[in-house]
Amino acid sequence: MGIIEIEHPPSFYPKLLCRKLMVKNRRISLGGKHTIKTRMMSSAIPLESFRWDLQKISATAANELLTFILADPGDALLIPTPYYPGFDRDLRWRTGVNIVPVHCDSSNDFDITAEALEAAYREAESKNIKVRGMLITNPSNPLGITIKRSTLEDILDFVTQKNIHLVSDEIFSGSAFSSEDFVSVAEIVEARNYEDSERGHIVYSLSKDLGLPGFRVGAIYSYNDKVVTTARRMSSFTLISSQTQHPLGSDALRQKLHRKLHKN
């Protein structure tokens, strides 16, 4: 796997990074065919010296890999409710990691409050369960709502205070009705010059935004070199097939996908 420095963000991730995020001094490490590496790195809106750590796998495998990396069996991740029921399978079955719900309700539009976060953390502590991280879906699965900027800032403050990690599953990021509705964790990190950026990890895939369930093409974006290196070493069984990579490398398909994303 080689190191590629690029000046444009991935065209398959436009709503997250192409609008206003200026990212500097990152690097990107990609597995797979060279054509995939280059085709995924184009955008109509260039960013200055955009570089990132990225490992291509499916979103399901990405979430499980991050759980393996960040937590030991018996540890826990905090997840706001309601959450995608598949997480009980994807994050727990093989890892031995627990899920501690952060209880949110309709009275405040399922906002993730500081009080709810603290209550979930204390619940885990009362059971002698060590919390290693928090996982959010933004936009939410199953609610379909986006997380407010102020809430994301509160979540970052919380994970910093508790010395844990944050995984933001943003596989629906290109499906927001208004581009202004969605704010990525990456935007908050960059805007605040977040000193503990290595706590933040983002998962993305092509399946939802392009309507390709089962296509199994995704990525882990992270500021943490150790996490990306470990994910690369553990991803031998989740690599993208050559048959899948080949059409993604074609000019015709890339242009069609690019038009579809910007049109929708």
Q: Which residues are catalytic, by number?
A: 84, 169, 171, 208
Q: What distances in angstroms separate CA 88 from CA 93, 177, 213, one per listed residue?
A: 7, 29, 20
Query: Distance (Å, rounded) from C-alpha 147 to C-alpha 187?
Result: 13
Query: Distance (Å, rounded) from C-alpha 57 to C-alpha 233?
Result: 12
Query: Distance (Å, rounded) from C-alpha 70 to C-alpha 166?
Result: 10
How many other CB atoms are there within 10 angstroms of residue 132's CB atom?
20
Residue 6's nearest CA partner among 42, 35, 31 is 42
Query: Distance (Å, rounded) from C-alpha 16 to C-alpha 111?
Result: 21
Q: What distances in angstroms separate CA 217 from CA 32, 80, 233, one per listed residue?
A: 11, 26, 18
Please compute Rg for the chain using Cα positions.
Answer: 18
